[in-house]
Structures are given as C-alpha cells and as structure tokens.
Amino acid sequence: MAKLILLRHLLSQWNEENRFNGWIDTPLAEGQSKKAKELAQKIFRFKIDKIYCSILFRNMDTVARILEYDKKYPLYVHLDPGKMKDWGHFKDISQYDIPVYVTEKLNERYYGKLQGLNKKEIIEKEGGEIVRLWRRSWNQAPPGGESLQDVFKRTVSFYKKYIENDLKKGENVLIVGSHNSLRALVKHIEKVSDKKIINVEIPYAGVIEYNFDESLKLRAKKTL
C-alpha cells in the first residue's frame, strides 16, 4: 500500500510577521530546529522513496532541515521545462543522498498586489470577508493574483503526471509545499466540494498521511 505524505513548510519570516508571502522567496523564521526534528520523527518512521517540493526557498529549506535528522542530503532536481535538460541519473548515489524533485507547479498561490503587505492591515482596509474569500475560496482571486481554482489546475495536473505514477508503483511519496498548493491536492484527493474547500486549513508544519491501494483508491487518511 503506497503512502502519500503532504507537509506544509515550517514557519517563514513573513508568516511570523503576518505578511502575504505568495511567490516572494522569504527565509524560514528563527527557532525552527525543534519543529524540524519533530517532523522528521513523524515522517521517516517508514521509507520515503520520492520527495517533490515547491521551488520556493521556504519549502526547499524545510526539506533540508528535516533530512538532517534522517541523516540524508537532498539533491535538488528541477522538473520544470527549460530549467534542466538532463534531470540526472541517480543509480549510484550514496545511501545518504536523496533526489528532491522541485517544481513551480507546487508553489503557493500567487497573491498579486497583496504580496508583502500586512494581513491585518488589509483586513482592516478591505474587510475580513472579502480577504477570507481571496485566501480560501475556490474561485475568487486576490487583486492581480491566482484563485485556488488556478492553483488547482497547475498543481493537480503535475500530481497526475508524476506522482500518481509513483504511487501506482507502490512508492511512498513526500510532497512539501505551501498552504494553497496542498489545499488543492487535498481537494482533489478527498473530493472536497467547491463550497466546502473554504473551510480546509493546514497549519504550518502540518502533516497529512494518505494510504492508497494499487488502483489509487484512498484507503485511509491520518493527520500526524
């Protein structure tokens, strides 16, 4: 039975400052080592065969930090067209190395004109309900940004092209992404309705474990 693990990145500096992150490449906040160790203990209880990750630094750094506790070194490989013609051959790599396939398809929602702005200030200016719709609803996008529906199209198409094939082979896969790319995957996997997806939240460093049979039928879900 194949396992799929979804992991939201560790707290970033702009998360801590209550800013809209989006595609801005901010570092992780200070003091994340203890949480990284806790995540490693949860995730590496069983073998992980493949790791897929957003290209944003806060996601890639989260991967590096949790792998430290599994005594492995990440080898980052771009899967996006035009980034690398040769994705690399990993037959003879060290047992301490693990390929991490990175892609823009797993990036956070693009928040457009809101990126870098303080969330509390925007709520005070625009109103809490409209900001909630921009952040959590299915088809309403922030000014100049992406809706969850837009994120769903790029994220789920990538999932079907690459990750479903791994799961069909019985491989255990870890996906490290941002909130809305993971919410899009949850919507797809759990068949959450357009109306109910607004209530789906994944905390920073949140972990969801799915178990699939050989036909990719979902057998179990667990929040770690």
- Catalytic residue positions, numbered: 9, 108
9 marked among binding-site residues = yes
135 marked among binding-site residues = yes
Q: Taking a C-beta distance cutoff of 8 angstroms, is the pair 42, 207 a contact?
A: yes
Q: Taking a C-beta distance cutoff of 8 angstroms, is the pair 114, 22 a contact?
A: yes
Question: What is the 3-state secondary structure of 121-189?
Answer: HHHHHHCHHHHHHHHHCCCCCCCCCCCHHHHHHHHHHHHHHHHHHHHHCCCCEEEEECHHHHHHHHHHH
Label residue 168 exposed, middle or buried (CB < 10 Å: 0-12, 13-18, 19+): middle
12 marked among binding-site residues = yes
8 marked among binding-site residues = yes
58 marked among binding-site residues = yes
Residue whose C-alpha is closest to residue 25's, from 16, 13, 40, 39:
13
119 marked among binding-site residues = yes
Q: Bridge partners of 78?
A: 102
210 marked among binding-site residues = no
Q: Taking a C-beta distance cutoff of 8 angstroms, is the pair 35, 206 a contact?
A: no
111 marked among binding-site residues = yes
172 marked among binding-site residues = no
Structure tokens, 169: 């082979």
108 marked among binding-site residues = yes
Give the span between the Cα atoms of 121 and 106, in whole angstroms.
28
Q: Taking a C-beta distance cutoff of 8 angstroms, is the pair 222, 208 a contact?
A: yes
Residue whose C-alpha is closest to residue 51's, from 108, 110, 106, 1:
106
Which residue ranges are tagged as binding site for substrate?
Answer: 8-15, 58, 108-111, 119, 135-136
Which residue ranges are tagged as binding site?
Answer: 8-15, 58, 108-111, 119, 135-136
